[in-house]
Amino acid sequence: MGWIRHSAGRHPQLGPLETRLLGMLSQRRDATVRELLSSAQVDAAYTTVMTTLDRLYKKGFLDRSLDAVSRAFRYRLKQGERHLYRAVLGNDLHHLLQTAADPSLPVSFLVDAVTEHDPALLEDLRRAVERKRQQLRRRKKP
Amino acid sequence: MSYLLRGALLSSAAFFLAYVFLSLGVAGAWPLLRKRAAAWSASLLYGLRALPPAGALLFVAGFVVPAFLCLEPQGTDERFGIPGIALASAGLLMVAWGTVSALLASWQTARFVASCPKTGLRRLEGSAGACAVEVVSAKPLFVVAGIHRPKLLISQQAVRLLDENEMRVAVRHELAHARFRDNLKKLALRAARFPFLSGLERSWMQAAELEADDAAAVDACGALDLASALLKIAGASSPAPLPHLAMSLVPGTQPALQARVQRLLAWQPRLPSPPRRGRALLFFFFAVLALTAGYAPLLRHVHELGELLVR
């Protein structure tokens, strides 16, 4: 619970790369810097990823151990994904609700964001429906 | 303690134990069944979800109460032990909590329907008592709400978005929900809530949507019209918050919507399934036979278990 206390107390600000790396580590049990880079999901230099992981470790989000084969640090989430979101989002949401004049406003925007559909996907599906409609029309014509 | 009070407490304790036992059994089996259940009908999924409360009720009505009435002597002054009283109280609390939840859901839904500013009202043919009510809403709304004489609520924005064919098939979809009594089924689930069964409930909801899609899309053109209506309503803006006892045209998450549209795109005429009534009747006959043969010894066992429970 150390890092949860830490995050609740000091309200850690996570950058885009930090969030991305935490997300990648939540999808796998553990990983070294090289393994994260080889997955091609992150576009950054080796030293940048190494420094960022080290910072996350110092912030208390990650655990690390020395890999016997590669002699590099192997990082893993200190707590599960659920705890990670609770610590990061819970703190931010609490701050948001505390500072809002009308607390229902951020909540309604949150519901909108969660239930909104991806416009690009809807457009793809709409095109597929139109293609199918044209196929049907062609088939009906003698 | 009076004879009737003892019977009521015993029934409540037995109901609680059977309900929790069956619910945990279904919740434990669900992760193993989930993949196979993707092909199950909405009725089968709902049957599985309704098994714990229905099974517990049947157990109490079919075994516990008859065993008590037949085998418990009236004159005895038996006392209920602390575990028995605790179980009976838990059963009563559970029933009370379920009743309050169901009443609140009904009240919230009735309030939602009443608060929608209505601009037009027209009765639809073959709509199982449901009537279409056009309402003003800032967000697109296409929903059938309520249990007794359910209301079909369509916002003016939705009316503007959909063309005539899309509107017809979307209305058919919502009326299918009314015909299948999906809101009544939801009410029953509100009354019989259990913490680990939400995944099964979500699967039932998705299957119910597919079943309503099948009922609405009677041909390939209808399927495309429905897919188009779904995409228009989903794309217009985020949905309005809905009450518990309502079925919306576009509920749920993006993957669920995508799956529905892709299924409608691949629409094929349904072949009539071979009748399985003979096999079901045979199973029912043997089940009744086995129960009749073993009923008296079963009642004795249930009574003995009841005695153990209350001491």
Q: Order of strands across the sheet with B142-145?
A: B118-123, B131-135, B151-155, B142-145, B246-248
Q: Is-contact B147 B183, C-beta < 8 A? A: yes
Show the tokens assigned to A103.
């607390």
The answer to whether residue B258 neighbours chain A at the CB level (below 8 Å) is yes
State the CATH number of the domain containing residue A13. 1.10.10.10
Q: Is residue A141 part of a domain?
A: no
Show the tokens assigned to B255.
């993957």
Q: What is the ipTM of this complex?
A: 0.72
pLDDT value for A1: 35
For chain B, give every domain's residue range. Answer: 3-105+291-310, 118-265
Show the tokens assigned to B157.
């924005």
Q: Is residue A7 part of a domain?
A: yes
Q: Is residue A134 part of a domain?
A: no
Q: pLDDT tens digit string along A57-97?
A: 888 888 898 888 888 899 988 877 667 777 666 666 676 66
CB contacts < 8 Å between A and B, how many? 40
Closest CA of chain A from B268, distance in Å? 13
Spell out which residues of chain A touch residue B257, defining contact as CB-CB under 8 Å.
Answer: 117
Q: Is residue A93 part of a domain?
A: yes
Closest CA of chain B from A96, distance in Å? 21
Exposed, middle or buried: residue B238 (CB in 10 Å: 0-12, 13-18, 19+)? middle
Domain range for A41: 2-99
Per residue, the 3-state secondary structure of chain B, as one string, reads: CCHHHHHHHHHHHHHHHHHHHHHHHHHHHHHHHHHHHCCCCHHHHHHHHHHHHHHHHHHHHHHHHHHHHHHCCCCCCCCCCHHHHHHHHHHHHHHHHHHHHHHHHHHHHHHHHHHCCEEEEEECCCCCCCEEEEECCCCCCEEEECCCCCEEEEEHHHHHHCCHHHHHHHHHHHHHHHHCCHHHHHHHHHHCCCHHHHHHHHHHHHHHHHHHHHHHCCCHHHHHHHHHHHHHHHHHCCCCCCCCCEEECCCCCHHHHHHHHHHHHCCCCCCCCCCCHHHHHHHHHHHHHHHHHHHHHHHHHHHHHHHHHHC
Q: pLDDT tens digit string along B79-89?
A: 778 888 899 99
Q: Is-contact B154 B173, C-beta < 8 A? A: no
Contacts (Cβ under 8 Å, ≥6 apart) of A26: A77, A81, A84
Q: Determine, for residues B254 and A112 on separate chains, whether the beta-carbon distance falls below 8 Å.
A: no
Average pLDDT, chain B: 85
A:94-113 residues touching chain B, CB 8 A cutoff: 111-112
Q: Determine, for residues A115 and B238 on separate chains, whether the beta-carbon distance falls below 8 Å.
A: yes
Spell out which residues of chain B touch residue A137, defining contact as CB-CB under 8 Å.
Answer: none
List phi, psi (to 5°) of A83.
-70, -35
Other CB atoms within 10 A of residue B267 CB: 20
Domain tally for chain A?
A: 1
The average pLDDT across B50-70 equals 93
- Is residue A39 over pLDDT 70? yes
Q: Is residue A125 part of a domain?
A: no
d(Cα A134, Cα A140) in Å, to the nearest integer?
10
The answer to whether residue A121 neighbours chain B at the CB level (below 8 Å) is yes
The answer to whether residue A127 neighbours chain B at the CB level (below 8 Å) is no
Q: Is residue A122 part of a domain?
A: no
Q: Is residue A109 part of a domain?
A: no
Cα distances (angstroms) measured from residue B239 to each of A2, B59, B161, B187, B306: 40, 42, 14, 22, 51
pLDDT value for B151: 85
Q: Determine, for residues A136 and B221 on separate chains, whether the beta-carbon distance falls below 8 Å.
A: yes
Q: Determine, for residues B235 and A122 on separate chains, whether the beta-carbon distance falls below 8 Å.
A: yes
Q: pLDDT tens digit string along B252-270?
A: 666 778 888 988 988 888 7
pLDDT value for A117: 64
Other CB atoms within 10 A of residue B243 CB: 18
Q: How confident is the model at residue A8 (pLDDT cuts 50, 70, 90)?
A: very low
Q: pLDDT tens digit string along B116-160?
A: 877 766 655 545 555 667 676 666 788 898 888 888 888 888 888
Higher pLDDT, B93 or A96: B93
- Is residue A20 over pLDDT 90? no
Pairing of strands B151-155, B131-135: parallel
d(Cα A46, Cα A31) in Å, to the nearest integer?
14
The answer to whether residue A132 neighbours chain B at the CB level (below 8 Å) is yes
Q: Is residue A56 part of a domain?
A: yes
Which stretches of chain A are assigned E, i.e. beta strand?
62-66, 73-77
Spell out which residues of chain A touch residue B228, defining contact as CB-CB under 8 Å.
Answer: 126, 129
Spell out which residues of chain A touch residue B235, defining contact as CB-CB under 8 Å.
Answer: 117, 119, 122, 126
Q: pLDDT tens digit string along B178-237?
A: 999 999 999 999 999 888 898 899 889 989 999 999 999 988 999 999 999 999 888 876
Q: How confident is the model at residue B38 (pLDDT cuts 50, 70, 90)?
A: confident
- Of residues A111, A116, A129, nearest to B224 (C-beta): A129
